Structure 1
Amino acid sequence: MTAPSSSPRGEHAGKPGRRWETELRWTGEQIATDDQPEPRPNRATRRAAARARRNR
């Protein structure tokens, strides 16, 4: 059994004659605007806020 190499390996070179074909498509997603309600904080944030209120 050999030890794993500590040096990272580079990317492989592409094959001659091969090209990336890129096509842009719209997925229907839109950027959120400010008129939407703020998301609720997650459980850890709510617990930290409650702990801060208790320890005042």
Structure 2
Amino acid sequence: MAKLKKWLGYALIAFVVFYLLTQPETVANLVQSALGGLAGAADSLSRFVNALLV
């Protein structure tokens, strides 16, 4: 079972690398959306903390 998990991990990494090389624009948009979401979450958390302190 451990060997299966190891090979599935390698297959997943190979798929991600393949996807990065064949669809760079899609991956860039995905990363940009994820970072935008994180920035929005950080902004919301900052507003919440500031509201608690006021």
The two structures share one fold, judged by TM-score above 0.5: no
Which is richer in helix? 2
Which structure has more relative contact order (CA 8 Å, sep 6+)? It is: 2
TM-score by length of 1: 0.28
Which structure's CA Rg is the greater one? Answer: 1
